[in-house]
Homo-oligomer: A and B are copies of this chain.
């Protein structure tokens, strides 16, 4: 592909992103600034179509980029613009400082992504597989009901109600918790569960019931983040002419509610440390075949723990979205990190 074709492809995609309608040869010839006739442009466009970068919805309707076209565009033609001062200010204002509650920061990040992009924003919550158990508490709520509370080193708190056969006094429970903390505190959750499982095999004591439940809670904490993902702003898809009113929209909403496959896809993209794009069919996930996903992993204390990003139409202003997602990931990581 020669220089002129690249320029025209770039110009065409930019125009299509801006306007949302197929781009014809006349308009492209005018706006590309190449002093070239529409007929010449048509020849180039025909070549680009043959090579799979463009497609026309019907005979007399100009052309739109394919996902191959978009891919070439973002890889070879796109110059990312730095985050606008205003967006940056907003980001910092909303997630730039350490909040007292991690959950709130995650929500804030999801919301701001959606607001600034006018698309759906998501945040995959930090996985806790490597979290370290900091503290355990057992509290009597009422007769034969014990509340178990787990705290990890990153400040995650999970709790669970345990029903017991017999009644335990406060002192008894405090002692159990203390024992638990001494034995298992400061160790990774995985180890705790594993050891607990082993230790429980040996003893037979009524208190076991509580420990067993506590173990289950720990397991839940690890399993739970298989699923957990915040997503917000799906309703913005209603405004997209390419989706609105069609069956695709419903499929997409259902798929997003389902989350499972989506989470799988995102976990894949956690491997790298860079912004990653799934354009159209690239995701290999049918409901997303009309959409693009821009995602970036975020790190807490130097370790990648989650991924965030946006889901929108293929036709999105990548040069702004990419730095925005990138910046949000950085800020979120910092906000959740110790050094923050």
Interface residues, chain A, CB within 8 Å of chain B?
Answer: 98-102, 134-135, 137, 139, 141-142, 145, 147, 149, 151, 153-155, 157, 159-163, 213, 234-235, 238, 244-245, 249-250, 253-254, 257, 338
Contact = CB atoms under 8 A, between A and B. Distances in A.
A135 B142 contact: no
A162 B101 CA distance: 9
Contact of A235 (B102, B155, B160, B253): B253
Contact of A157 (B102, B147, B244): B147
Q: How many of these chains are in the complex?
A: 2
10 contacts: A99-B161, A139-B151, A141-B155, A142-B153, A147-B155, A149-B149, A155-B161, A157-B157, A235-B257, A245-B245
Contacts of A161: 98-102, 155
A135 to B, nearest CB: 5
Nearest to A159: B157
A315 to B, nearest CB: 21
Most buried by B among A134, A159, A244: A159
Nearest to A250: B238
Contacts of A98: 161, 163
Given A147-B151, A157-B157, A235-B250, 12 more contacts: A98-B161, A99-B161, A100-B160, A101-B161, A134-B141, A137-B149, A142-B338, A234-B235, A235-B257, A238-B250, A244-B245, A245-B245
Given A134-B141, A139-B151, A153-B142, A159 B101 contact: yes
B151 A151 contact: no
A134 B101 CA distance: 21
Nearest to A102: B161
A137 B101 CA distance: 16
A197 to B, nearest CB: 19
A163 B101 CA distance: 12
A52 to B, nearest CB: 34
Contacts of A234: 235
Contacts of A253: 235, 238
A228 to B, nearest CB: 12
A290 to B, nearest CB: 17
A291 to B, nearest CB: 16
A168 to B, nearest CB: 14
